[in-house]
Structure 1
Amino acid sequence: LTPIQLSAERLQRKLSGEVAGDKRSMLDRYTRTIVQQVEAMKTMVNAFTEYARSPSQNSAVLNLNELLEDVTVLYHENYTEVTIKLELDPSIPLIMADGVRLRQLVHNVVKNSFDSIEAGGWIKLSTRGVKELGLQYLEFSVEDSGDGIADEVADNLFEPYVTTKTTGSGLGLAIVKKIVDEHSGIVWVEKAEQGGARFVVRLPAISQRDNKLQTQLQSNKDTEVMP
């Protein structure tokens, strides 16, 4: 795909000085279309590769609040026309997770919300701890001010190639589901109180025993590297 894109761009540069008027406009339009379609195909290929690849986790203790704060900095800088709200519970439990994969999950869900709202809208990222049947979980949600998702679409929204958008690969939320499954969690979408969509991810928290063990291992590691 890259050679096709480079060839189209080179062709435009080579011929742009040799044609004028309507022919110049036609050349620009056709080469621009080629480049845009190649970029779209690249996006689809990359998304399919990401979805199809075998999981290879590099898990470590993770505080999701810190990851969310890092990720939202990028969106604050690039989506100034949209308000980003953070409601992060400082007492959330830690989780054992692959930070790279979780970052991809967050990006996909947040990007999906940004694509669903117009300028002047907002999205809200929230975290909290949840206890169910004696087990502790971390719950992360992304809510937006968009139009919401129709019930008939919501039931299959995390399946590959199911999308409400006219662009994109249709794999973004399928990848989210795959990453959640890799971490023994669950994900769902529901109607938000103010009419938009609310995506919820629930992941198992580190047990108190595992947390103490990880703290001890880290303490031992720090002691070993001290001069």
Structure 2
Amino acid sequence: MFRPAPITTFIRGIPYRLIASVVLILAIVVSVILLLSLEHDKLLLQGFGDDRPLPRELFPALWQSRRDLIMVTLLMFLVSAIGIAAVITWLHYDSTRRTLEEVKGLARNILQSIPTGILTINRDGVITAVNPTAEAVLKRASADLLGNAYETAFAEGETIREVLDSALRRHRHMSQKDLPYDSADRQARTIRVSTAELTGDGGERAGVILQAQDITDWLALEQRVRVAEKLAALHTLSAGVAHELRNPLSAMDLNLHLLEEELRDSGMAGGQGARYLHVLNAECRRLSVILDNFMKFAHPGSLDLHEVDMTALIEHVAALMQFEAEERKVRLELDVEQPVPCVMGDETAISQVLLNIVVNALHAMPNGGLCRIGARAQDSDGKRWVALSVTDTGIGITKQELSRVFEPFYTTKPGGTGLGLAIAYRIMQDHGGTIQVSSAPGSGTTVVMTFPAAARQPQPIAQPVSLAS
């Protein structure tokens, strides 16, 4: 349907068909009129024989008849030409109109079907086209954009306005550039933007075309894939390291006990030697704990899958952490929307994940604060899910640290092993769920864990769960 614009010349612009049609019809009409005129003259001359002379008044009458014939012929030519021109013009107009409607319909369908957001502005900066994908990406309705200047539609400092300013005013275009975009719903998202010159039929600048694609979820998925690849590569290594260290550590622990007993039997158990032995025993126990975490990370073990009551599990974890929360001057609250579906999983493993997240939240609030544990059911992709969330008002996490929180052995806590969140990530994978962390320095942290809901739903509970210290 879309063809290159034809090169129109003077010769190609001549309506050959129209001229040929008019000449042909004129020739037919003139021939008919001449035949009729000849027959008329023949009838006039039949009344005069050889013995009767022709009247002198007959010749002017014949010439007048010829002039009338010429006038009628010219009149018929003009009428025929005008009629044919009108018919051909109407047919050409109708064909052009139908072709234009088809082209417009095709262009509209293509624009609406493109999975990338498209926005165009003319040379004056007026928005001339917006497709549905652009409305979804920019979180703006087309009625608020079309026909308005982009300076009016987008406030000063907004990402899209700066991009269009650069493209239209300074003719600086970008290709596949990822930019932060704060939409109307106040959610920080990332969009991939490209701009290009919009040209007219003559090659002149007609405006700017902008392409925008929301890649927030895609980047999050890419990050999860990278983390999963790192975890998969480290599983075997961790198992091998833990196995190789377990034997010499056991030998060291055994020989330390034997040495302690021998010193005790010889009466040399006191003094500086006893303190050295105490330190060695403590460090051996710490190494043993680290190796246990290694083994849990490498081989989390078989899951004992059964229906887990998430409300009871959250209450149990909150009760366990209540004393530590009070010591750290942290208010612990529960925000559980009822009813919460059961989850098919391992209650011990899920408790370990939740405990780990809550402990991290408490440690992130050295001066006290609020830690809220939430739970709610949600539907996504045609499935039922249970979402657990732990939100704190702590110091937050920087963007660089946030991209590495699930990496094994990465920690910002003194004395930490960096395996807590890595093990939690592995457990969530084994349950077919997801875990996501969102944070900003000084704004606290939110960790959201989603589990597939079990088929059977629990009965609604009359009163919502509430706990505060």
Tell me the TM-score normalized by structure 1. Answer: 0.77
- Counting aligned pairs with the same residue, the percent is 26
The equivalent of 1:160 in structure 2 is: 408
Do the aligned partners of residues 198 and 91 (structure 1) sit closer, same or farther apart at CA in structure 2, a change above 3 Å counting?
same
The equivalent of 1:180 in structure 2 is: 428
Following TM superposition, where does structure 1 have runs of at least 4 consecutive aligned residues deviating by more than 3 angstroms? 1-17, 30-33
The equivalent of 1:219 in structure 2 is: none
Q: Matched residues in 1 for 2:377 and 2:263: separation?
A: 56
Do the aligned partners of residues 86 and 3 (structure 1) sit closer, same or farther apart at CA in structure 2, a change above 3 Å counting?
farther
The equivalent of 2:336 in structure 1 is: 88
How far apart are residue 194 of structure 1 and its match?
7.1
What's the secondary structure of 1:56's corresponding residue? coil
The equivalent of 2:254 in structure 1 is: 3
Q: Matched residues in 1 for 2:363 and 2:258: separation?
A: 31
Q: Matched residues in 2 for 1:139 and 1:64: separation?
A: 10
How far apart are residue 126 of structure 1 and its match?
0.8
How far apart are residue 204 of structure 1 and its match?
1.3
Q: Could you tell me which of 345, 356, 381 is aligned with 1:133?
A: 381
The equivalent of 1:64 in structure 2 is: 310
The equivalent of 2:297 in structure 1 is: 51
Deviations 1:169-224 (A, max 9, x none): 21110110011001111111002797111111011112xxx327x99xxxxxxxxx
Equivalenced residues, count? 204
Are 2:368 and 1:120 aligned?
yes
The equivalent of 2:97 in structure 1 is: none
Do the aligned partners of residues 192 and 71 (structure 1) sit closer, same or farther apart at CA in structure 2, a change above 3 Å counting?
farther
How far apart are residue 51 of structure 1 and its match?
1.0
Look up the equivalent residue of 1:160 and give its one-letter code: P
Look up the equivalent residue of 2:456 and give its one-letter code: N
Q: Matched residues in 2 for 1:5 and 1:113: separation?
A: 38
The equivalent of 1:39 in structure 2 is: 285
Given that 2:398 and 2:439 are in contact with CA atoms closer than 8 Å, whether structure 1 keeps it comes out as no
Q: How does 1:198-213 map to 2 (within 5 A)?
A: 198-206=446-454, 210-211=455-456
Deviations 1:127-172 (A, max 9, x none): 1111223322110011122211111121121121121112122111
What's the secondary structure of 1:67's corresponding residue? helix
How far apart are residue 37 of structure 1 and its match?
2.4
How far apart are residue 78 of structure 1 and its match?
3.8
- 34-43 vs 93-102, which deviates more? 34-43
Larger Cα Rg: Structure 1 or Structure 2?
Answer: 2
Deviations 1:55-84 (A, max 9, x none): 412211112111011122111134422321
> What is the Cα-based RMSD across aligned positions, in Å?
2.9
Look up the equivalent residue of 1:91 and give its one-letter code: P
What's the secondary structure of 2:456's corresponding residue? helix
Q: Matched residues in 2 for 1:62 and 1:85: separation?
A: 21
How far apart are residue 103 of structure 1 and its match?
1.3
Structure 1's unaligned 5+ residue stretches are 216-227
Given that 2:406 and 2:421 are in contact with CA atoms closer than 8 Å, whether structure 1 keeps it comes out as yes
How far apart are residue 114 of structure 1 and its match?
2.3
How far apart are residue 92 of structure 1 and its match?
1.7
Q: Matched residues in 2 for 1:85 and 1:161: separation?
A: 30
What's the secondary structure of 2:421's corresponding residue? helix
Look up the equivalent residue of 1:200 and give its one-letter code: V
Tell me the TM-score normalized by structure 2. Answer: 0.39
